[in-house]
Amino acid sequence: MKVPDKIRTNCPSCNKHTTHNVKLNRKGKERSMNQGRRKFEAVKRGYGGMPRTPKKPCYKIGKRTVLVLECGECKKKHQKLFAARTKKTVEVG
């Protein structure tokens, strides 16, 4: 699914209808020493109970895609959530 790299929409900070640059919001790099990772490693070594919750019978099909819009005038950024969950990959360009 293709999304244009410039969208004309309302900016909530300057309250005008301007062109916005579009980027995809991506997950950042996970820290290696966060609490969940430390607990998982300890349980894998054999200290404690189950490392994760049991598997669910049904799963969500796709993730909601978050677009980051940067205003052309005031350079402030805000997010726009894609309305539906999508299995297709979203490309900006």
What is the tens place of the pLDDT at every residue in 57-89?
888 777 788 899 999 999 999 999 877 777 778
Give 22's pLDDT tier (boundaries 50, 70, 90): very high
Question: Rounded mean pLDDT of 13-31?
Answer: 92
Nearby residues of 54 by Cβ (< 8 Å), 6 or more positions away: none
* Domain residue spans of the chain: 1-27+56-93
pLDDT band at 93 (very low <50, low <70, confident <90, very high): confident
For domain 1-27+56-93, which CATH number applies: 3.40.50.10330, 2.60.40.10, 3.10.450.80, 3.40.50.2300?
3.10.450.80
